[in-house]
A and B are shown apart, each in its own frame.
Chain A
Amino acid sequence: MAKPKISSDWMGGCAGCHMSFLDMDERIIKLVELADLRSTPITDLKVPDESGVDVGILEGSVMNTANEEVVHRMRERCKILVALGDCAVFGGVPAMRNFFTIEETLRRGYVETESTDENGKVPDDPELCKQTRVRAVHEVVPVELHVPGCPPDPDVIFYVLSELAQGRMPELKGDKINWH
């Protein structure tokens, strides 16, 4: 039997969840023995196979139309979608932006910061994606498994992926659940 394929991607996050994934250290070899690690933002292959993967992992919240595309593409191409980390699960740090209007946050970012001035210009090229309200992944597409944590513990990530790679649905209980 072919090894199950795993892909990952990220949106509005800090890359910390992927760092925590790498923090499983030598266990990554075991994981590669169990599963076929396909595209990830930290490997050469960036986009999940058109032919589909078994497990899709998403880090980060959905903040703009480009993120939406990433989410929809992963949803279409994977069987089991995993929201990895507090941003993907709840909205996380980026969701604090929801306390302001999008105009306010753009003005703050491009005009009002300590290193910008009134000459700063909010980019408005029509080719650029549009900012949206910040959402958890499950607000955009259905999610099969939520792995909270900021970031999730490497042990938990290893447990989740090795279970999925062996065709089992991981059970997050007790000290495997951590929102912090």
Chain B
Amino acid sequence: MVNITINGTSYEVPEGYTVLKAATEKGIHIPTLCDHPELTPYGGCRLCLVEVDGFRTPQPSCTLPVSNNMVIRTDTPAIHESRKFVLSLIFSERNHFCPYCQVSGGDCELQNSAYDEGMTYWPIQPNWKNFPVDASHPYIILEHNRCILCRRCVRACGELVGNFTLGVEERGANSILMADLGVPLGESTCVSCGTCVQVCPTGALIDRWSAYRGREEESKSQKTICTACSVGCGIEVFTRHNNIVKIYGDWDAAINKGVICEKGRFLPMVEKRERVLTPIVKQDGKPKAATWQNALEAIAAKWSKGEVAALVSDRLPAETLSFVSHLVGSDKVSVIESAGDATSGLKKPFEGKLADLKKSDCVVVVGTNLAEDHEVAGFFVKRLVPSGTSVILIDSESNPLDQVADVVLKPAKGGEAALLQLLADGKATEVAAKAAELLAKASNPVFIYGKSASELTIKAAVEAAQKFHGVVLGTRGGANSLLTAFLGMEKETQLDKAKAVLIVLADDEPSQKLIHQLEKVPFKVVLAAYHSQLSAQADVVLPVAMWAEESGTFISMDGHVQQAVASINPPEEVKSSKEAVQEIASRLGIKVNGESWKDLLKSKAVVTEIVEA
């Protein structure tokens, strides 16, 4: 700890802190623009200048480390003058037409800073140099005229996302952001995670779908989790008049610390599927809108105990999964298109945590397409690369991670386990020998396996992890896929004997394979948020909530028990999946319990340690 004095009061703060961090923690406001708590300090904008005894000139507090007996002033007339001057210079560089800017009026850190300093005009007028607008990206518009070159986006894209798409070209007043080596953003390597938009302090990075839908102060915000995959990222959903305005990564979320992917941020904004708004019952072969009561009657008429199977999405809350398993019997529930549970024969727990990646110096990825299915986990791997972490990719097919991996191994299908074993035993040859070498050197290797990994592959990974004192991580599938496996729902679907099948799709889009599988089923009840080819064929459709309308419990791929909290209300006739299943149960007189998964968790080992919130 060191002693410092800020504005006449002394404080004790940890060594290694910057002056900014120390002040912020003590509740003293210093305005900033280029600084961001989750990014490496850059010291570029100079708005955070403070007076420090012993220094001839004001110092940028975001990069200045505290030292013992340092005397700092943040609130002198001279400091306010220098802030105004810095802001004047920034405004003079580009073209800020605030009245038409989507962030004006509260959401612009630049404008807010100017207001805070009481700036009513720009002492130095801009020279009206015309900067281009890059509107090539489906989600993002890059309006260079409003860019202050703070490079938050550049650092976020590299340090948080590991994508390194953004950079700066040219010099001085001509400096301009660029994507890759100067291509339009829409044609670049950008993976549309939107992290750059979230960190941009100005209106330079425009989110096409959120712009002008409402500023933050006009919106309600709800912290919850993304249920698009099993990473379990924390998100903040901003809503206005029961519409989603925008989705941000939650900076306070332990798992993802603010970073989310296209599926979490943008895909919900471009949802075009048509909602199911009332129950539908097939009459004389034609689907007809019905009341809940009629729909439940129709279900009851065809329900014969013991002969109903259920297919569930692995993105449903734990409560709904429990209800379904009581409703039809746990042995009759399986996850839609499940590949089975390859971990069933393994001694549990054998998996670690995503956070273990932070200190990893060698990551082995096998049987998973991280960039597509568990993107943020992929970001966690990619962002390690600059610090020297080696990445070994084992995949019989092409994989976007091929680009970043130090060694790419392409065994024949089914050969992954044997290859892993060779690596672990140091017996690999040719290219694989380099991978074995990297692995042998590593002090904290992490093995990530995914859905397509066989039991043998996982076993090989577990053994290799034991040998090298490493950690194993499994990504699985949807948001609650750890729980569906645990509940025994990851198994092949047996539909031959079923007289009726309950299909709980919620947000999911049914695949052709699923539709084909269900062709011969005599009676189909579909619980869906959206119309689809399957809902059109169903005998009864019950309208259920989409993800943002339903609360419930999810367990992330690495065992974090988290709550999804609804951020908007469903349309009038639409019920949450929990309520819908409950309604069926109570009509049939079957007792269901939404908490039974909890007791099970206590009685039986899971692949990874369970972390309660």
Contacts and interface: CB of A to CB of B under 8 A. Distances in A.
Contact of A138 (B98, B101, B105, B121): B121
Contacts of B118: 172-173, 177
Contacts of B122: 90, 136
Given A98-B128, A179-B99, A179-B104, A172 B120 contact: yes
Interface in A130-180: 133, 135-136, 138-139, 143, 145-148, 150, 172-174, 177-180
A179 B106 CA distance: 11
Interface of B: 97-99, 101, 104-105, 111, 114-115, 118-122, 125, 128, 130
Contacts of A177: 115, 118-120
Given A178-B105, A179-B104, A180-B99, A89 B120 contact: yes
A149 to B, nearest CB: 9
A122 to B, nearest CB: 22
Contacts of B104: 179-180
Contacts of B121: 83, 89-90, 136, 138, 143, 146, 148
A59 B114 CA distance: 22
A121 to B, nearest CB: 28
Nearest to A171: B118
Given A139-B125, A179-B111, A86 B120 contact: no
A91 interface: yes
A96 B133 CA distance: 15
Contact of A95 (B111, B119, B128): B128
Given A89-B120, A172-B120, A180 B125 contact: no
B109 to A, nearest CB: 14
Contacts of A174: 115
A95 B95 CA distance: 10
B99 A136 contact: no
Nearest to A136: B125
Q: Which of A86, A147, A179 has the most CB of B within 10 A?
A: A179
Q: How large is the interface on A (under 10, 10 to 19, 20 to 34, 35 or more residues)?
A: 20 to 34
Contacts of B120: 89, 145-148, 172, 177
B91 to A, nearest CB: 9
Contacts of A146: 120-121
A146 B120 CA distance: 6
In terms of DSSP, what is the predominant structure of the interface of chain A?
mixed
Given A91-B125, A148-B121, A177-B115, 19 more contacts: A89-B120, A89-B121, A90-B125, A92-B99, A96-B97, A98-B128, A136-B121, A136-B125, A139-B125, A143-B121, A145-B120, A174-B115, A177-B119, A178-B105, A179-B99, A179-B111, A179-B114, A180-B101, A180-B104
Interface in A75-93: 83, 86, 89-93
Contacts of B101: 180
Contact of A99 (B105, B115, B130): B130
Nearest to B101: A180
A1 to B, nearest CB: 29
B13 to A, nearest CB: 31
A147 to B, nearest CB: 7
A99 B128 contact: yes
A76 to B, nearest CB: 22
Nearest to A143: B121
9 contacts: A83-B121, A93-B99, A133-B128, A143-B121, A150-B98, A178-B105, A179-B104, A179-B111, A180-B104
A132 to B, nearest CB: 13
B98 A180 contact: yes
Given A99-B130, A146-B120, A86 B125 contact: no
Nearest to B105: A180
A6 B128 CA distance: 33
Contacts of A138: 121
5 tightest A-B contacts by CB? A98-B128, A150-B99, A146-B120, A146-B121, A180-B104
A14 B119 CA distance: 24
A12 to B, nearest CB: 15
Contacts of B97: 92-93, 96
A145 B121 CA distance: 9
A64 B119 CA distance: 27
A95 to B, nearest CB: 7
A165 to B, nearest CB: 19
Contacts of A91: 125
A91 B119 CA distance: 16
A58 B583 CA distance: 68
Contacts of B111: 179
B125 A179 contact: no
A64 to B, nearest CB: 16
A99 to B, nearest CB: 5
A139 B122 CA distance: 10
B99 A86 contact: yes
A150 B98 CA distance: 9
B127 to A, nearest CB: 9
A172 B120 CA distance: 8
Interface in A47-86: 83, 86
Contacts of A136: 121-122, 125
B478 to A, nearest CB: 43
B295 to A, nearest CB: 50
Nearest to A138: B121
A83 B97 CA distance: 17
Q: Which of B111, B120, B125 has the most CB of A within 10 A?
A: B120
A138 B98 CA distance: 19
Nearest to A133: B128
A93 B105 CA distance: 17
Contacts of A99: 128, 130
Contacts of B114: 179
Nearest to B121: A146
Contact of B98 (A83, A135, A179): A179
A4 B111 CA distance: 34
Nearest to A148: B120
A30 to B, nearest CB: 24
A116 to B, nearest CB: 25
Q: Which of A98, A147, A173 has the most CB of B within 10 A?
A: A98
Contact of A86 (B98, B105, B119, B128): B98
B262 to A, nearest CB: 31
A145 B101 CA distance: 25
A160 B342 CA distance: 74
A137 B125 CA distance: 11
Nearest to A172: B120
A82 B17 CA distance: 46
